[in-house]
Chains A and B, each alone.
Chain A
Amino acid sequence: MKRFIGFVTKEFYHIFRDKRTMFILFGMPIVQIMLFGFAITNEINNVNIAILDQSKDTETQKIINKINASKYFNIQEEITNENQIESIFKKGKVKAVLVFENHFIKNLQTQKLAKVQVITDATDPNIANTITNYVNAILQNYTQEINKTTPGNYQIQAQTQLYYNPELKSVFTFVPGIMTTILMLVSAMMTSISITREKELGTMEVLLVSPLKPFQVIIGKVFPYIFLSIINATIIVLLGFFVFKMPLEGSLLLLAFESILFIVSALSLGILISTVSNSQQTAMMISLMGLMLPVIILSGFIFPISSMPLPMQIISNIIPAKWFIIIIKAIMLKGASIAVIWKETLILMGMTVFFIVLSIKKYKIRLE
């Protein structure tokens, strides 16, 4: 145990003294999440919308004026019937259509409830989401005003309808996606580099000649990265939660467990890579080409798997990252418990065990 602590201490010195490593470890996750987060902008300005006013009364006119007056929306067109909605979206002229129901003012006065339908083009899910929120805010603001002048608990309800992408499939994928990428990067690439570095420097030989057992050397080398990866995962989840309002519905414990499982599988991949490469460059290239690209392209992080050609869909199944993304999305967005994601968890576990066994075998062969 004392030896182990000594070993791990030394490993931390390596990490903390290398600026490049430190940047990849801590700079990268923050930079990436900020880039992705803000590139998928949350601000909208002068978005073109269309109005379908079936009531054409004084109330609807007031609301329309209010919307038009805001800097966020620009009423491009007024349409007269519902059949036009589809075609106006297809032309790409507007991002949203507001539909005021028939007898808007009458409903508001008699039932104290009137409805506005907010139909958004959800091909760009983030913008669609933002538009809905802004419209809601304007409507709420307006209701507050009328409730102040004529108290009566009036309500204007916005009903959201999404066209083309009703589940907003990609909106919150970037946090799980970045988490997956970063964990893969830190765990697999950094460990494979740090092990091959010892090989390159000749210190690995010295370690193997010492009374330390080979598996102690490997555990000593990967342990700091398990620790740092967990910190990284936490940073990403916190950033996602606080900065980008990523929901966190499910159990944190389950999330932590699944993350550690994924980290271990990535670490064993890192060990595997280090057994087949003799220089840090090789290790880095194999990690980038062999791990990072599939993670980014085939895991469903950026390109939805369902829209890939069939062969690619089949290949995507052997990417651990795909399963991890499914798992954390289910936990974070849907609050899934282990009962829902046991299948994915088992697959990930199976892969992890496979990689560990393979890397131990490879490592032993190398020692012969």
Chain B
Amino acid sequence: MSQEKIITVKNLTKTFGSFTAVNSISFEVNKGEIFGFLGANGAGKTTAMKMLIGISKPTSGEALVAGFDIKMQSEMVKKSIGYMSQKFSMYDDLTIKENITFFGGIYGLSRIQIKQKTVELIRELGLEEVADKLVGALPLGWKQKLSFSVALLHEPKIVFLDEPTGGVDPITRRQFWEMIYAEANKGTTIFVTTHYMDEAEYCDRVSIMVEGKIEALDSPKNLKKQFDVASMNDVFLKLARNIE
């Protein structure tokens, strides 16, 4: 494999008291790929992701994100990544433009950059008519697209998406994935957690976490072959049963 690694994780562990949420996981993510990070609720995927984005300190192990050590250089890590949380993470009482200005501002974009980005982003999403309306008035699907675009404002190398499509209709989900593809084609690495197994099929590679460990990691095609099943859903079920 000669591909450039953008995330390298080695024996990353997080314990809370006697409970091990993340148990010595190791994996690598290639630059520009869509990496699906799967697992049941409580499997440890959120904890693992929080360590990678620098809001939780690992108990042991190491990880490099965009070439920076998450323990020693968390500030640099933060500058290189974008993040969209599973809750809709913009301010309902601010207008679309104000939200963009605010998030651009905290990522240190200059006023001119923010202006340019605002115009571009609003045009791309076709939001010209509602640009000065409060975000709270937008339908959820729009909000999520907007929030994804805002996470990309500062042109991060990697964007972390934490269950980005929770609660939206299949059509919007499809559109959302088209946006993800478009961004990945530009060379941005996408790190996405989800529990929709059909979405797992859209990823270049997928890792499945069960009880704090990564039990499977490969392309959806290879995983289906390996487990001899027809869909990612079955891969997941089989894996969960084997552990039990």
Task: Give the interface of A toward B (CB within 8 A).
Answer: 2-3, 6-7, 9-10, 13-14, 17-18, 201-203, 205-212, 367-368
Chain B residues, CB < 8 A from A209: 53-55, 78, 81, 83, 160
Tell me the smallest distance from the CB of B81 to a CB of chain A, in Å.
7
22 A–B pairs (Cβ distance < 8 Å), ordered by A: A2-B105, A2-B108, A3-B106, A6-B105, A7-B102, A7-B106, A13-B98, A18-B93, A201-B88, A201-B89, A202-B85, A202-B86, A202-B87, A203-B90, A206-B89, A208-B55, A209-B78, A210-B106, A211-B75, A211-B79, A368-B56, A368-B57
Chain B hits for A207, CB < 8 A:
106
Q: What is the CA–CA distance of A2 and B104 in the complex, to the nearest angstrom?
A: 11
Contact residue among B85, B90, B108 (Cβ-Cβ distance under 8 Å from A211): B108
Asked if B90 and A10 sit within 8 Å, CB to CB, the answer is: no
Query: Which A residues touch B81, using CB under 8 A?
Result: 209
Q: Closest CB-CB distance, B112 to chain A, in whole Å?
A: 12
Q: Which of A7, A14, A205, A212 contacts B89 (CB 8 A)?
A: A205
A6 to B107, CA, bound (A): 11
Q: Which residues of B contact A202 (CB under 8 A)?
A: 85-89
Contacts of A10 in B (CB 8 A): 91, 94, 98, 102
B101 within 8 A of A: yes
A59 to B: closest C-beta gap in Å: 71
Contact B106 A6 (CB under 8 A): yes
**CA–CA, A199 and B39, complex, Å:** 24
Known: A10-B98, A203-B91. A3 touches B105 (CB 8 A): yes
A211 touches B88 (CB 8 A): no
Please determine whether B102 and A6 come into contact, CB atoms closer than 8 angstroms.
yes
Which of A2, A203, A210, A212 is the most central at the interface, judged by chain B CB atoms within 10 Å of its CB? A210
Shortest CB distance B202–A (Å)? 24
Contact in complex: A206, B78 (CB < 8 Å)? no
The residue that B106 contacts in the complex, of A17, A211, A367, with Cβ under 8 A, is A211
Contact of A14 among B75, B93, B105, B108 (CB under 8 A): B93
How far, in whole Å, are A248 and B92 apart by their CA atoms in the complex?
A: 44
Query: In the complex, which of the residues B57, B91, B106, B160 has the most CB atoms of chain A within 10 Å of its own CB atom?
Result: B106
Complex CA distance for A172 and B91, rounded to whole angstroms: 43
Establish whether residues B94 and A13, one from each chain, have CB atoms under 8 Å apart when the complex forms: yes
Question: Are A211 and B89 within 8 A (Cβ)?
Answer: no
Which residue of chain A has its CB nearest to the CB of B53? A209
Assembly CA distance A367 to B83 (angstroms): 17
Bound CA span A10–B106, Å: 11
In the bound assembly, the distance between CA atoms of A17 and B55 in angstroms comes to 30
Which residues 141-191 of B have a CB within 8 angstroms of A? 160
A212 x B106 contact (CB < 8 A): yes
With a CB–CB cut-off of 8 A, which chain A residues contact B78?
209-211
For residue A368, which residue of chain B has the nearest CB? B57
Q: A10-B91, A211-B108 in contact; A205/B98 too (CB < 8 A)?
A: no
